[in-house]
Amino acid sequence: MLSFEQSNVVNHSEIEITSDRNIIPYSQYLIESQQLAVQNSNSSAQQDALILSVIEQLNTQVANCTKINLDNQSVNNTLTTELERYKEQVKVLNKGQNVALTSKDNVSDSCAHSVKIDRLKQTLSKHLKEKESLMQTVSLLNDDFKKEESKNIDREIALEKRIK
């Protein structure tokens, strides 16, 4: 029985320790592991903050595009109404031109209407150009929004893959 007990005992004098460079105190190990945990949680919080920031930017862009669309609809309605009014005036003037002018006043009124129609045509042309410009701007903003949204989705997928 004595020999059995001796076989379980390790003879430390036979083991030679050549270096203790890789050995750190337990307290240092605890500090380093806590720092890594804090860094990992900070990284996650930074990613969450980035995602929230991107979402806020997208919401702002959507609100801006919605406002521009509403403005364009208002301009379209106004221009359509104005165009209909101008068309009616042109019909009236064309009918008036077919009737022989009997007095100087009729000629003067016709000229005044012609001048007014020309001004209205210029105004309408100006409004139509503004509308086209606004439509192009909305189109560009929508394209930019779609590109940004695609990038953000790709980023979010990449972040989710990193987290997993």
Q: 69: Cβ–Cβ under 8 A, 6 or more apart, which residues? A: 138
Instruction: Quote the tokens at residue 130.
Output: 């503004």
What is the pLDDT at residue 32?
A: 80
Q: 145: Cβ–Cβ under 8 A, 6 or more apart, which residues? A: 58, 61, 62, 65
Q: Is residue 22 part of a domain?
A: no
Q: Is residue 164 part of a domain?
A: yes
Q: Is residue 41 part of a domain?
A: no
Q: Is residue 78 part of a domain?
A: yes
Residue 105, Cβ density class (10 Å: 0-12 exposed, 13-18 middle, ≥19 buried):
exposed
What is the pLDDT at residue 92?
A: 85
How many folded domains does the chain comprise?
1
Contact 101, 107 (CB under 8 A): yes
Q: Which residue has the tokens 């012609």?
A: 114
Q: Is residue 30 part of a domain?
A: no
What is the pLDDT at residue 104?
A: 54
> How many helices (DSSP H) and strands (DSSP E) are in the chain?
3, 0
- Report the first-to-last Cα separation within the chain, whole angstroms: 56
What is the pLDDT at residue 17?
A: 54
**Per-residue pLDDT tens over the stretch 60-115:** 998 988 999 898 898 889 989 988 998 898 888 877 766 644 555 566 677 888 88
pTM: 0.33
Closest by CA to 92, choosing from 120, 125, 128, is 120
Percent share of the chain, pLDDT over 70: 75
Task: Name the residue range of residue 149's domain.
Answer: 50-164
Mapping DSSP to helix (H, G, I), strand (E, B) and coil, where does residue 25 land? coil
**Per-residue pLDDT tens over the stretch 18-63:** 656 678 888 888 888 777 766 666 677 788 888 898 899 989 998 9
Rounded distance, CA 106 to CA 100, Å? 9
Q: Is residue 12 part of a domain?
A: no
Rounded distance, CA 133 to CA 125, Å? 12
**Per-residue pLDDT tens over the stretch 119-140:** 988 988 888 898 888 889 888 8
Q: Is residue 132 part of a domain?
A: yes
Q: Is residue 103 part of a domain?
A: yes
